[in-house]
A = this chain, B = another copy of it.
Amino acid sequence: MSKPATIKDIAQRLNISVSTVSRSLRNAPDVNIETRQAVIALSEELNYQPNKLALSLRQKQTHTIGVIVPNLDYVLSTMVRGIDEVALEAGYTVMVCQSNESYGREILNTARLLDSLVDGFIVSVSSETKIFDHFKKIQHRGLPMVVFDRIAPQLTAPSVRLDNEEGGLLATEHLLEQGYKRIAVLAGPANLGVSNSRLDGYLKTLKKYKIKKDDSLIMHCDFNQDYAYYATLELLAMKKRPDAIFTISDRMAIGAMLAIKEKGLRMPSDIGLVGFNNEPVASLVTPMLSSIDMPSFELGKAAARLFIESMNTSEDLSQVEEILRPKLCIRESSRRLA
């Protein structure tokens, strides 16, 4: 129905030129106070909204950030909320695309956003991705890009991530303190950075406590409840079975839990369990699951702040690496001491 008013409409109704209207609206100098007031009054009456498209075309900025995430599970959607929060504050709009952990989809998404003319990218890379040309293309276009959570050493870009190693350390140390002796790890796919870092934390802790590592206690499996279930069954079938398990995600911990219950073992007495991410589900299962908590919302905010900083500065921030610290959250599944 009522087409939105343009600067030209205002100019005509006031019998002045569009340039003057434009200047008035951006309160630039070189315009009489009265005409400016008239312009402002009329623009409010007509409910004038500047056309973002024309503006973007003119000044080659869209004030839009392309966000690419592998999925929108609890952790990532919380991070996205964090990104959204500070982006909005800074006058940016975000476009979120899910790659569904697919390399092809990730390429498609970057291409799409790239020619939708976003001003830059905030990216968490898919687990499937081993080639990074599509991301490098972004940088080659001169657009800023921040990598968060799932970072990749192949990309030289500012990054924000969790100290995953410390997470592994916290979990392992806690289990040792509770008197568990044979601690197994359910890790993710061997090419997933976050998983490996958490594993490293575990290994370092063993070394610190002078416990020699037992490779049979380290299982790699898909980031998935079912695989975790079967992997746990294998662990429990060992002649010298582990008396504690650290899984690098809550999802996997749930799978492990099912297997443990099925075998008639009790937590935390027979076997201790610690997950990672501290998703809400952790306090819904029985027994309630101990987990490594990460400041997801804060992490998202930090990523967006870093992005905006790299928009505004001409310095090279590609070496900036922000690292947030995890926190141990002890619940029933691993507390056997008072």
Contact = CB atoms under 8 A, between A and B. Distances in A.
A52 B254 contact: no
Contacts of A329: none
A140 B2 contact: yes
Nearest to A142: B1
A17 interface: no
Interface string A267-291: 0000000000000010011100000
A285 to B, nearest CB: 6
A2 B138 CA distance: 11
Interface in A72-103: 72, 77, 80-81, 84, 93, 95-96, 98
Contacts of A140: 1-2
Nearest to A100: B81
Interface string A1-38: 11010000000000000000000000000000000000
Given A72-B77, A285-B285, A117 B2 contact: no
Contact of A117 (B51, B72, B80, B112): B51
B285 A141 contact: no
Contacts of A112: 93
Nearest to A257: B284
A308 B201 CA distance: 50
Interface of A (DSSP majority class) = mixed
A310 interface: no
A281 B198 CA distance: 25
Interface in A34-63: 49-54, 56-57, 62
Contact of A53 (B56, B141, B281): B56
A115 interface: yes
A93 B112 CA distance: 8
A116 interface: yes
A169 to B, nearest CB: 27
Contacts of A72: 72, 77, 80-81
Interface in A122-164: 140-142
A284 B117 contact: no
Contact of A96 (B50, B96, B115, B116): B96
A93 B111 CA distance: 12
26 contacts: A1-B140, A1-B142, A2-B141, A4-B141, A49-B114, A49-B115, A50-B115, A51-B115, A51-B117, A52-B115, A53-B53, A53-B56, A53-B57, A53-B62, A53-B117, A54-B57, A72-B72, A77-B77, A93-B95, A95-B95, A254-B284, A281-B284, A284-B284, A284-B285, A285-B285, A286-B286
- A-B pairs, top 8 by smallest CB distance, nearest first, are A49-B115, A53-B57, A286-B286, A72-B77, A1-B142, A53-B56, A254-B284, A52-B116
Given A261-B286, A281-B284, 18 more contacts: A1-B142, A49-B115, A50-B115, A51-B57, A53-B57, A53-B62, A53-B117, A57-B57, A72-B72, A72-B77, A72-B81, A81-B98, A93-B112, A96-B96, A281-B281, A284-B284, A284-B285, A286-B286
